[in-house]
């Protein structure tokens, strides 16, 4: 528990990070630093996107797998690191 | 043939005559026997001679006997007169044929026993056909019955031919077949068998059916086309999709469990490096930054051909009649109508004459309206009681214009009657427009309508000096008699502020005051009549009785006396709905409603108590004075020691300019940046910064006479100069000198500059000069299109300048302090320092100087530049 917290803190202290969400494989948020509404929204939407992206990558080459997904938008950047059971969503405001 | 004959005979037999013999019809009837037979008596000798003995040779059944003609002739010769044939002698001789017919008439039908047929036709007739006899008999009987209608004889006209053709005649004899079967075969059994070939009736093209039917009656029924069909889709790719209404969340217990789980730890550990790397990448550089695009100036860079950098002359307006010998004191664009501007013309006078208010000739002063559509003729003229130095369109109703006169009065015009004229075509071309106004001199061409002023302020309560600046208060607030800003329920501009070098600022209200409204009945009567000049009575209530609401005087800060303001600028306050306590919707509704311009004559000054005070209105103004000072003062009246309402002392005053200030203008982009211009330089002030202007320009050679901000670029402004040139300044590019100088825009001093944005592509700058000419220049795209993030840059620039100023001030203080301290220190150290006499000082100075000379010599020698000094050290 403490380790998890410490890791999150390390990420949080990076410049421009707005929020972190840890989501399990079903899309239910496990840990978050944002408010509930945003968390739930992000989790639901991004979960679907990650599934889609992963299946895309696997379809093209079954030996391959998704390691990282970055969505760059006008206002911020969403980074998703998927894993076997969970995935981590980080929202950062780039230093522009 | 025989029937033919018989018919012909029968048709003529009615009268028993032959067609050839004409005399016969009459004779036939009278004689009682046809004239072609002659009843004769033949003696027995003759009978024996000719072999026609009665009842022996000729009988009743065969009564005909053909006698030869020769025989009869011989008989006649032999027995001459005795011959029985003598009465028919001539006939016999004439008889064409050889044989004559003698008929034994047993019945004595013709009264004699024999008769002789005289003609061969009759002979044929009697001998051959049986038929004619009966019709003859019938017709005899008919003939006997006389007295009835006589059948007319039928004349053949050839119709029998047609009848013959049409009639159906058998061409041949009818054939007659008889079929019979052998008797023994009756009732015998029959055996049917097939034939080899089959019989068929081949259809043939019957020409009777080649007729085309050109027209057909056919019944129609309109039936709505409707079709319902269904289909079955194939669910090929079976996948279950679901939607979620409420998010699934883990309960707290579950969360705890998961948190404790080792899995999560592993996950975090493995994921973190990636994430950190990504975050750091992001931090370092923005990979998506498009450098190329960032170089560009604007999003719609117009690369079509020539881009003209300078100000192009678009149009010039002048009018010989009205602008002769006049200079333009003020210019304004019409806020709503495209291409219309108004200039105020004043007499060219020297300043000394201006102060004297006596010995005036009555001159016509006008405000002239020009329109783009007609550069050489004014569209509208506003008649002024005197020269106007400043005028403004009302921001809520562009038909109301307020102006300040040279004698200190405030004038109001209402041009709503002529607005259509301004918007429409050239003057004079529509003669119909003139029918409304009462025109005695009936010039159909070039008659510019003249509008007389509606109202003039009371002379005694107006300014004592020419009014140099007039401004409307924005429609968002109004001011009470004490200067307190209160909410404006009408949402229109109703108050005017004027300033004049008589050291006063006055606030005027254009509405009907309470006192006047008491005499409402009188007013109503008055309102019905129009003045003889056809002036609208919008401001009739003000005419000649108009008094200012209150007066702000400008006492000097440190000395006595007052400042003489020339121009001022107040902050335009935008309505904040929360303050007034109205809901936002109501405010919006009111906004929409306020588009309908209220009738100014109906507006009343509300009681001050009913209106809520607006706390956040900035009641301070920047004022430029005659002496070049810029004053920042509050217009609210405060109570001074004696309890009377007094104007407050200005908050600060700086003498940045050395002469008349001609422009005090707020930036259209920033509420707190003011540009002031006067004499030889300009200055930019930020409201709130009390230390001075944040930017001052270096002095230029010519007097700056007019200036204005660009309405579209926060960093650009224009300055007009004494020699007729215009400078364009861009604060972001060069701060020490103008970006562009357009010399010789006019030949005379530029008196006014006003910019205007006609459309997104057309930006104009109106420049007026001392000669009465108005030039409209078109601002090129480079000058009106703001550069990328210009707002931000300018903001930064101003902030920078402000900081610099503040810093400078601080340092100044610091230095002053230091200096003071140093002095004090010095004093302390040398408390009793004899004051050196002057000569001692001089000696000291000389010594120092000599020392310096030696040093200089040595240095120059070292450099090899030493020249032998002249006796007089004159460099």
The 10s digit of each residue's pLDDT in B548-599 is: 777 777 777 666 667 777 777 777 666 544 333 333 333 333 333 334 555 6
Find chain A residues with C-beta within 8 A of B274's C-beta. 67-68, 81
**Out of A20-34, B228-242, B463-477, B580-594, which region has the weakest mean confidence (pLDDT)?**
B580-594
Is B792 an interface residue toward A (CB < 8 Å)?
no
pLDDT, tens digit (0-9, with 9 covering 90-100), for B278-299: 888 877 877 777 777 777 655 5
Find chain A residues with C-beta within 8 A of B289's C-beta. 96
Cβ of A68 and B274 within 8 Å?
yes
Find chain B residues with C-beta within 8 A of A72's C-beta. 288
Mutation site for B-interface testing, chosen from A79, A82, A91, A93 by largest number of B Cβ within 10 Å: A79
**Out of B87-101, B343-357, B408-422, which region has the weakest mean confidence (pLDDT)?**
B343-357
- Tell me the average pLDDT across B256-273: 82
Mutation site for B-interface testing, chosen from A85, A87, A89, A91 by largest number of B Cβ within 10 Å: A85
What is each CA distance from B773 to B165, B319, B323, B327, B752, in whole angstroms? Answer: 114, 8, 8, 8, 11
Cβ of B268 and A3 within 8 Å?
yes
pLDDT, tens digit (0-9, with 9 covering 90-100), for B618-633: 777 788 888 777 778 7
Stronger pLDDT, B3 or B330, i.e. the higher one = B330
pLDDT above 70 covers a percentage of chain B that reads 73
Location of structure tokens 């507006």: B603
Which of B255, B271, B289 shows the shortest C-beta gap to A30? B255
Cβ of A81 and B249 within 8 Å?
no
Could you tell me how many CB contacts below 8 A there are between chain A and chain B? 91
Is A14 an interface residue toward B (CB < 8 Å)?
yes
Mutation site for B-interface testing, chosen from A8, A45, A83, A96 by largest number of B Cβ within 10 Å: A83
Find chain A residues with C-beta within 8 A of B249's C-beta. 28-29, 40
| pLDDT at residue B147, as a whole number | 58
How many angstroms from the chain centroid is the CA of residue B724? 42
Stronger pLDDT, B645 or B684, i.e. the higher one = B684
CA-based nearest residue in chain B for residue A44: B247
Mutation site for A-interface testing, chosen from B252, B256, B278 by largest number of A Cβ within 10 Å: B278
- Tell me the average pLDDT across B440-456: 65
pLDDT, tens digit (0-9, with 9 covering 90-100), for B74-129: 877 887 777 777 777 777 777 777 777 777 777 777 777 777 777 777 777 777 76
Is A4 an interface residue toward B (CB < 8 Å)?
yes
Which of B258, B263, B275 shows the shortest C-beta gap to A90? B275
Whether residue B17 has pLDDT greater than 50: no
Find chain B residues with C-beta within 8 A of A95's C-beta. 282-283, 286
- Tell me the average pLDDT across B159-174: 84
Q: Both tokens of residue B61?
A: 């059944």
Whether residue A41 has pLDDT greater than 80: yes
Stronger pLDDT, B609 or B204, i.e. the higher one = B204
pLDDT above 90 covers a percentage of chain B that reads 0
Neighbours of B516 (CB within 10 A): 17
- Tell me the average pLDDT across A47-58: 92
Inter-residue contact B159 to B167 (CB < 8 Å): no
How many angstroms from the chain centroid is the CA of residue B642? 67
Categorize the per-residue pLDDT at B816 as very low, low, confident or very high, splitting at 50, 70 and 90: confident
Inter-residue contact B550 to B481 (CB < 8 Å): yes
Is B243 an interface residue toward A (CB < 8 Å)?
no
pLDDT, tens digit (0-9, with 9 covering 90-100), for B738-754: 877 877 777 788 888 88
B554-560 LR contacts (CB < 8 Å, sep 24+): B554/B503, B554/B504, B554/B505, B554/B623, B554/B625, B554/B631, B554/B633, B554/B647, B554/B650, B555/B647, B555/B649, B555/B650, B556/B650, B556/B653, B557/B649, B557/B650, B557/B652, B557/B653
Which of B248, B268, B286 shows the shortest C-beta gap to A4? B268
CA-based nearest residue in chain B for residue A40: B247
Is B290 an interface residue toward A (CB < 8 Å)?
no
Is A3 an interface residue toward B (CB < 8 Å)?
yes
Cβ within 8 Å of residue B820, ≥6 positions away: none
Give me the sign of the Cα torsion angle B352, B356, B357, B358. Answer: negative
pLDDT, tens digit (0-9, with 9 covering 90-100), for B504-523: 788 888 776 655 444 444 44
Is B268 an interface residue toward A (CB < 8 Å)?
yes
Which of B265, B270, B282 shows the shortest C-beta gap to A4? B265
- Tell me the average pLDDT across B36-56: 73
Categorize the per-residue pLDDT at B12 as very low, low, confident or very high, splitting at 50, 70 and 90: very low
- 3-state secondary structure (DSSP) of residue B71: helix
Please tell me the distance from the alpha carbon of residue A19 to that of residue A92, in angstroms, as a whole number. Answer: 7
Whether residue B240 has pLDDT greater than 60: yes
Please, what's the b/e burial string for B285-300 (b: 16 or more CB within 10 A of its CB; e: otherwise)? eeeeeeeeeeeeeeee
Mutation site for A-interface testing, chosen from B242, B243, B247 by largest number of A Cβ within 10 Å: B247
Cβ of A11 and B286 within 8 Å?
no
Stronger pLDDT, B715 or A36, i.e. the higher one = A36
Is A45 an interface residue toward B (CB < 8 Å)?
no
Find chain A residues with C-beta within 8 A of B240's C-beta. none
Q: Both tokens of residue B667?
A: 């930036």
What is each CA distance from B131 to B14, B105, B138, B408, in whole angstroms? Answer: 14, 18, 11, 150
| pLDDT at residue A52, as a whole number | 92
Is A72 an interface residue toward B (CB < 8 Å)?
yes
Whether residue B19 has pLDDT greater than 50: no
Is B93 an interface residue toward A (CB < 8 Å)?
no
Please tell me the distance from the alpha carbon of residue B781 to that of residue B71, in angstroms, as a whole number. Answer: 152
Name the residue among B714, B488, B722 with its Cα closest to residue B617.
Answer: B488
Categorize the per-residue pLDDT at B306 as very low, low, confident or very high, splitting at 50, 70 and 90: low
| pLDDT at residue B871, as a whole number | 46
Is A91 an interface residue toward B (CB < 8 Å)?
no
Cβ of A67 and B274 within 8 Å?
yes
| pLDDT at residue A91, as a whole number | 92
Please tell me the distance from the alpha carbon of residue B601 to that of residue B543, in angstroms, as a whole number. Answer: 12
- Tell me the average pLDDT across B237-265: 77
Which of A8, A22, A81 shows the shortest C-beta gap to B274? A81
Find chain A residues with C-beta within 8 A of B269's C-beta. 3, 7
Whether residue A4 has pLDDT greater than 80: yes
Q: Both tokens of residue B363?
A: 């001159």
What is each CA distance from B381 to B30, B168, B509, B599, in whole angstroms? Answer: 134, 113, 25, 23
| pLDDT at residue B137, as a whole number | 52
Give me the sign of the Cα torsion angle B166, B172, B173, B175. Answer: negative
Cβ of A79 and B286 within 8 Å?
no
Please tell me the distance from the alpha carbon of residue B462 to that of residue B542, in angstroms, as a whole number. Answer: 13
Is B142 an interface residue toward A (CB < 8 Å)?
no
Secondary structure of chain B: what % helix, strand, coil (to 5)?
30, 25, 50
CB-count exposure of residue A60 (10 Å: 0-12, 13-18, 19+): exposed
**Out of B376-380, B401-405, B721-725, which region has the weakest mean confidence (pLDDT)?**
B376-380
Our CA-based measurement puts residue B454 at a distance from the nearest CA of chain A, in whole angstroms, of: 57
- Tell me the average pLDDT across B857-864: 86
Please tell me the distance from the alpha carbon of residue B786 to that of residue B781, in angstroms, as a whole number. Answer: 9
Whether residue A32 has pLDDT greater than 60: yes
Is A9 an interface residue toward B (CB < 8 Å)?
no
| pLDDT at residue B639, as a whole number | 65
* DSSP result, B662-709: EEEEE-SS-TTEEEEEETTEEEEEETT-TT--SEEPPP-SSPEEEEEE
Mutation site for B-interface testing, chosen from A52, A86, A96 by largest number of B Cβ within 10 Å: A86
- Provide the strand spans (E) within B521-594: 548-553, 565-570
Is B252 an interface residue toward A (CB < 8 Å)?
no
Residues linked to residue B404 through DSSP beta bridges, in sequence order = B390, B410
Categorize the per-residue pLDDT at B810 as very low, low, confident or very high, splitting at 50, 70 and 90: confident
pLDDT, tens digit (0-9, with 9 covering 90-100), for B181-192: 888 888 888 888
Cβ of A10 and B282 within 8 Å?
no
Inter-residue contact B764 to B314 (CB < 8 Å): yes
Our CA-based measurement puts residue B294 at a distance from the nearest CA of chain A, in whole angstroms, of: 13
- 3-state secondary structure (DSSP) of residue B631: strand
């Amino acid at each position: 528990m403490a380790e998890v917290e410490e890791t999150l803190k390390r990420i949080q202290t990076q410049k421009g990070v707005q929020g972190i969400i840890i989501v399990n494989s079903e899309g239910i948020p496990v840990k978050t630093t944002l408010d509930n509404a945003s968390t739930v929204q992000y989790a639901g939407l991004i979960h679907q996107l990650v599934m889609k992206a992963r299946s895309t990558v696997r379809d093209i080459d079954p030996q391959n797998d998704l390691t990282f997904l970055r969505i760059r938008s006008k206002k911020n950047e969403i980074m998703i690191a998927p894993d076997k059971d969970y995935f981590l969503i980080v929202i950062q405001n780039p230093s522009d | 043939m025989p029937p033919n004959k018989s018919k012909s005979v029968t048709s003529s037999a009615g009268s028993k005559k032959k067609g050839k013999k004409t005399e016969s019809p009459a004779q036939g009837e009278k004689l009682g026997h046809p004239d072609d037979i002659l009843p004769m008596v033949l003696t027995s000798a003759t009978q024996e001679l000719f072999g026609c003995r009665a009842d022996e040779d000729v009988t009743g059944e065969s009564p005909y006997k053909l006698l030869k003609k020769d025989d009869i002739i011989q008989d006649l010769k032999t027995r001459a007169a005795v011959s029985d044939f003598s009465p028919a002698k001539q006939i016999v001789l004439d008889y064409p044929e050889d044989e004559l017919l003698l008929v034994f008439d047993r019945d004595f039908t013709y009264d004699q026993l024999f008769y002789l047929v005289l003609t061969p036709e009759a002979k044929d007739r009697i001998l051959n056909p049986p038929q004619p006899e009966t019709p003859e008999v019938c017709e005899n009987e008919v003939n006997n019955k006389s007295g009835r209608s006589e059948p007319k004889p039928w004349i053949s006209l050839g119709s029998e031919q047609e009848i013959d053709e049409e009639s159906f005649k058998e061409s041949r004899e009818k054939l007659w077949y008889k079929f019979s079967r052998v008797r023994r075969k009756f009732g015998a059994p029959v055996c049917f068998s097939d034939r080899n070939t089959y019989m068929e009736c081949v259809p043939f093209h019957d020409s009777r059916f080649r007729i085309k039917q050109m027209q057909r009656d056919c019944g129609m029924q309109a039936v709505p086309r409707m079709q319902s069909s269904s289909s079955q889709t194939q669910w090929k790719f079976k996948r279950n999709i679901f939607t979620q209404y409420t998010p699934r969340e883990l309960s707290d217990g579950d969360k705890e469990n998961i948190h404790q789980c080792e899995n999560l730890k592993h996950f975090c550990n493995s994921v973190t490096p990636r994430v950190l790397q990504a975050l750091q990448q992001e931090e370092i550089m923005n990979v998506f930054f498009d450098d190329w695009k960032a170089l560009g100036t604007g999003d719609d860079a117009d690369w079509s051909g020539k881009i003209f950098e300078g100000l192009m002359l678009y149009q010039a307006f002048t009018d010989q009649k009205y602008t002769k010998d006049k200079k333009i004191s003020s210019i304004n664009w019409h806020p709503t109508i495209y291409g219309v501007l108004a200039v105020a013309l004043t007499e060219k006078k020297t300043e000394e004459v201006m102060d004297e208010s006596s010995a005036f000739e009555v001159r016509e002063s006008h405000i002239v309206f020009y329109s783009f559509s007609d550069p050489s003729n004014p569209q509208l003229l506003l008649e002024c009681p005197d020269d106007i130095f400043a005028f403004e369109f009302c921001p809520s109703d562009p038909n109301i214009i307020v102006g300040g006169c040279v004698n200190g009065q405030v004038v109001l015009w209402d041009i709503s009657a002529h607005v259509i004229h301004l918007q429409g075509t050239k003057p004079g071309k529509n003669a119909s427009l003139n029918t409304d106004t009462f025109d005695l001199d009936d010039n159909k061409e070039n008659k510019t309508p003249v509008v007389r002023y509606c109202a003039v302020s009371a002379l005694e309560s107006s300014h004592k000096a020419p009014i140099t600046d007039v401004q409307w208060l924005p429609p968002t607030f109004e001011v009470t008699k004490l200067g307190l800003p209160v909410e404006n329920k009408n949402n229109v501009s109703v108050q005017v502020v004027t300033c004049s070098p008589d050291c006063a600022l006055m606030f005027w209200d254009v509405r009907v005051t309470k006192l006047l409204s008491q005499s409402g009945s009188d007013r109503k009567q008055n309102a019905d009549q129009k003045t003889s000049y056809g002036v609208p009575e919008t401001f009739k209530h003000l005419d000649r009785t108009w008094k200012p609401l209150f007066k702000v005087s400008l006492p000097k800060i440190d000395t006595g006396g007052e400042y003489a303001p020339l121009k001022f600028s107040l902050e335009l306050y935008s309505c904040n709905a929360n303050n007034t306590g109205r809901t936002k919707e109501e405010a919006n509704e009111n906004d929409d409603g306020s588009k309908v311009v209220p009738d100014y004559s109906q507006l009343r000054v509300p009681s001050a108590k009913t209106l809520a005070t607006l706390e956040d209105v900035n009641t301070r103004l920047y004022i430029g004075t005659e002496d070049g000072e810029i004053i920042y003062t509050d217009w609210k009246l405060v109570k001074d020691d004696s309890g009377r309402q007094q104007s407050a002392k200005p908050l600060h005053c700086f003498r940045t300019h050395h002469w008349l200030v001609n422009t005090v203008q707020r930036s259209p982009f920033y509420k707190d940046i003011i540009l002031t211009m006067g004499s030889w330089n300009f200055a930019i002030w930020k409201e709130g910064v009390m230390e001075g202007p944040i930017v001052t320009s270096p002095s230029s050679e010519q007097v700056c006479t007019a200036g204005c901000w660009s309405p579209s670029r926060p960093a650009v402004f224009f300055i007009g100069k004494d020699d007729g040139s215009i400078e364009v300044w861009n604060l972001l590019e060069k701060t020490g000198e103008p970006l562009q100088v357009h010399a010789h825009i006019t030949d005379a001093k530029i008196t006014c500059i006003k910019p205007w944005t006609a459309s997104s592509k057309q930006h104009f700058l109106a420049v007026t000069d001392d000669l009465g000419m108005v030039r409209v220049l078109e601002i090129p795209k480079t000058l009106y299109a703001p550069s990328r993030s210009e707002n931000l840059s300018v903001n930064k620039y101003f902030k920078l300048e402000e900081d610099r100023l503040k810093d400078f001030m601080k340092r100044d203080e610091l230095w002053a302090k230091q200096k003071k301290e140093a002095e004090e220190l010095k004093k302390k150290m040398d408390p009793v320092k004899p004051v050196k006499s002057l000569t001692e000082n001089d000696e000291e100075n000389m010594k120092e100087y000599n020392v310096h000379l030696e040093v200089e010599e040595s240095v120059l020698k070292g450099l090899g530049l030493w020249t032998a000094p002249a006796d007089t050290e004159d460099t």
